[in-house]
Amino acid sequence: MRQLVVIGNGMVGHRLVEAVLSREAGTCWHITVLGEEPRPAYDRVALSSYFDGAGEEELRLPDLRRHPGVDLLLGEPATAIDRAARTVTTAAGRVLGYDALVLATGSSAFVPPVPGRDLPGCHVYRTIEDLEHITATAQAATGRGDAAGVVIGGGLLGLEAANALKLLGMQPHVVEMAPWLMPRQVDEGGGAVLGRLIADTGVACHTAAGLTGIEPAPHGGGLRVLLGEQGPDQRSVDAGIVVFSVGVRPRDELARAAGLETGPRGGVAVDAACRTGDPRIYAVGECASAQGTVYGLVAPGNAMAEVAAENIAGGAAAFTGGDTSTKLKLLGVDVASFGDAQGDTDGALEVVLNDAPGRRYAKLVVSDDATTLLGGVLVGDASAYAGLRPLVGRELPGDPLDLIAPDRGGSGGAVGVAALPDDAQVCSCNAVTKGAIRTAITEGSTDIPALKACTRAGTSCGSCVPMLKNLLADSGVEQSSALCEHFDHSRAELVEIVTATGVATFSELIARHGTGRGCDVCKPAVASILASLGGGHILEGEQAALQDTNDHFLANIQRNGTYSVVPRVPGGEITPDRLIAIGEVAREFGLYTKITGAQRIDLLGARVEQLPAVWARLVDAGFESGHAYGKALRTVKSCVGSTWCRYGVQDSVGMAIRLELRYRGLRSPHKLKSAVSGCARECAEARGKDFGVIATERGWNLYVGGNGGFTPRHAELLAGDLDDETLIRYIDRFLMFYIRTADRLQRTAAWIEGLDGGLDHLRAVVVEDRLGIAADLEQAMERHTAGYADEWRGVLEDPEKLARFVSFANAPEAPDPTIAFGVERDQPVPAGPVPLGMPSVPAGAAAPAGALR
């Protein structure tokens, strides 16, 4: 039997072995794999999920040792290659002969040669061991009060590292030499939007910032990161940890020592067959230089592995270049780039949508006649990626602007699967075409897991999964309405299960009706269901761990890590004493004050440890939580109505107060907004709300399904000329029917549009009671109103809940030193991140420890 030795047990080396074994000629080879790490191959693309609770077992790739013809030697790297004798020597002194040798040694993290790079507390972000060391250092740093963490490098991995530090309880700072983040993937316009989105998550971004050095912090235990040239303008960040994520360098030292040619930027030079200058030696992945290019992504590496495997097995295949398309969710922000994203092709034209207020950016690069798609960039909303990426190099199905601008009435990037030819790649990571997927569906792979198992599509980055669903639907396969991979049930079905069984906790629900541990989709969705069905305080016991950030602290987190407090002001009516109380709270705690578009008063800039004290003052003054942080009723806006207005025909203020007090705290699939107008002049803009009420001479008209925002929609008339009690009865039914049947994060507008029969069906249920459930819906609402309790007061009365409102668990009284403020229009505003050379605090104010200096 012939001997194949593979040096490297990463994702690409693992893929090569599987590719050889999958071929008929693969049975002629005995394969020995040398792994430097002490563990089997794991998914490096998903490495950051380690900080979300994923264990090593969940990250592991299928074990190669299940194949009898494979020997996997872990913790035993190769130390030398003897090309003349055709042998490889390992660190254990083992000498292995080979008939074919594959170098899959990957890359190592590049650490810039700056003073202090080797100090304790400096790490790279490449392996599970690296993540374990980062975790230990971060825990030690937060334990001594060093809350800031610095990531050197603002590329893909750098932002992942920043997210990791955030999950470890640190305040991340990202330092990037380029003028914007992710400069290799996005252009300047996309980088500007990306920077704002990342800053909104609480990450301080320092772009166009050069790293000068690292030194021990003067206060002991931490580090000081020096930015810019030495001198009076040099700035620094005090941190508990530094993570380098500047880039990678190919691991080609074995090849160099063996006399193999390397590329101009390093890496083992290979031809189209992925063969080196020695015909018996191949190189694949990040250690290979193909036509002078070293690829740092998994898709080109997998393509090289397939090419090398085919040639090793006696076939003929060629690597013609790698797909560098990427789609990621970094810190909750969608980013994607594909094809010629920078517009480097001669004669290329750019079609750009730069919606800065809407926090989204989209650019398509097209041929000079605007008929062929060459590439693109998507930031903030990358939903169009799955349909656009397979069209690179192909004729566009329509106006390019229509593909990225849904507000123009175009397709909004929803390129139908019918527009793709069968040879278009749907999964670029694993080079799976539309035709291959359609064949798999025809042969019986009729759901996403089956398609993944059969074709490998969707098993790497997962960005093509939406297109897989579209292909299943296009083939006539009924799609699952499952909430996520952990529940086979839809959200509406889970509502019915909880209602029928009385299940009161997420752990019980997933144990009886789901699988696994849950995820960031099902946990908050189930938390909302339990809350809407009377599950007690949302920070009670297990419920607390399920909440999104805002619900977790009963306040809206802002871009600098502080929170805003919005007390309820029913109907917008407020007494002078309560108005004065709000002003006194804002003055005492130094909060920014803003009257919102919904007639509420927003107090911004409170640190997490200040929240209970702010609430206590407001509760004592008669206020309660306005639920601005939750997927719940926000407010019922109103005009002054017949009490004051000469055109008013009904008491809109009184009705607004009645509705707001009735539905306050009502958890729902998405936020709910309402308004009451006292006459047809519609000053409260009721038809732009999820449910709106407009006064008539004979009563009230009830409108439902309106909303503003990304896709504005006018509400439609559900019923007219209603008396007070009938109006409230219909709203009760409408809201409870919505809560029980809508999908997670589905606004009322989209929910009504998705109902079979639309508004007519809704009217039949709510007004005519055609389903016979009206009494049940009304009783459910009565249970909600009877069980309502102010969540702020609930925290203040419970020492256990109060204990979570601290910046540092080991120093409850200590404020977060990374938070700094400036002044605009006589009000405090977040001070950073700011450009180098600009002050981060008001003139004359001392920079707190850990802040930029």
Q: What integer pLDDT is reported at residue 481 of this predicted model?
A: 75
Band (pLDDT 50/70/90 cuts) for residue 120 is very high
What is the per-residue pLDDT for 558?
Answer: 75
What is the reported pLDDT for 732?
97
The three-state secondary structure class of 659 is: helix
Q: Where are the domains of the chain?
A: 2-107+249-312, 122-246, 325-415, 417-480, 491-547, 629-789
Token digits for 159?
A: 């932002």
Rounded to whole angstroms, how far apart are CA atoms 39 and 55? 13
Phi/psi for 384 (5° steps) reads -80, -10
Between 731 and 23, residue with greater pLDDT:
731
What average pLDDT does range 87-92 have in this prediction? 96
Where residue 48 falls among pLDDT bands split at 50, 70, 90? confident
Domain 629-789 is in which class? alpha beta
Determine the topology of domain 417-480 in CATH: Arc Repressor Mutant, subunit A (1.10.10)
Given a cut of 70, is residue 500 above it in pLDDT? yes
Range 223-243 average pLDDT:
86
Cα distances (angstroms) measured from residue 822 to each of 355, 555, 586: 27, 22, 16
Residues contacting 467, CB < 8 A, separation 6+: 386, 387, 390, 417, 426
Burial class (CB in 10 A: 0-12, 13-18, 19+), 620: exposed
Rounded to whole angstroms, the Cα distance separating 255 from 70 reads 24
Q: Side chain identity at 531, as an amino acid letter?
A: A
Residue scoring higher pLDDT (832 or 381): 381
pLDDT tens track for 129-160: 999 999 999 989 888 888 889 999 998 889 98
Q: What is the mean pLDDT of the chain?
A: 86
Q: Which of 802, 463, 465 is nearest to 616 (CA)?
A: 802
pLDDT at residue 215 in the model = 93
- Residue 129 neighbours by CB distance under 10 Å: 11
- Over residues 591-642, the pLDDT tens digits come to 988 777 677 888 988 888 899 999 999 999 999 999 988 899 999 999 888 8
Is the confidence at residue 370, as pLDDT, over 80?
A: yes
What sections of 520-572 are H helices per DSSP? 522-532, 549-553
Contact 466/426 with Cβ under 8 angstroms? no
Domain at 122-246, CATH class: alpha beta
Q: What's the number of CA atoms in the CB half-sphere (13 Å) around residue 598?
A: 23
pLDDT over threshold 80, residue 226: yes
Judge if 2-107+249-312 and 122-246 fold alike in CATH terms.
yes
pLDDT value of residue 848:
32
State pTM to two decimals. Answer: 0.59
When mean pLDDT is compared across 43-57, 231-245, 342-356, 621-635, the lowest value belongs to: 43-57
Give the pLDDT score at 461. 65
Mean pLDDT of 179-208: 89
Structure tokens at 145: 């009060």
Axis crossing angle, helix 522-532 with helix 506-513, rounded to the nearest 10 = 110
Checking if the pLDDT of 753 tops 80, the result is yes
pLDDT at 851: 33
As a whole number, mean pLDDT of residues 166-193 equals 90
Distance CA(24)–CA(551), nearest Å, equals 56
User: CB of 656 within 8 A of CB of 675?
Assistant: yes
Q: Return the pLDDT at 808.
A: 66
Which CATH code, of 3.40.640.10, 1.20.1050.10, 3.50.50.60, 3.30.365.10, is assigned to 2-107+249-312?
Answer: 3.50.50.60
Assess whether pLDDT exceeds 80 at residue 584: yes
- Cα–Cα distance for residue pair 180/195, rounded to 1 Å: 7
Please give the average per-residue pLDDT across 420-432, as a whole number: 78
User: Is CATH 3.40.50.300 what the domain over 325-415 is classified as, yes or no?
Assistant: no
3-state secondary structure 413-441: CCCCHHHCCCCCEEECCCCEEHHHHHHHH
Question: Each residue of 338-353: pLDDT tens digit?
Answer: 888 888 888 899 999 8
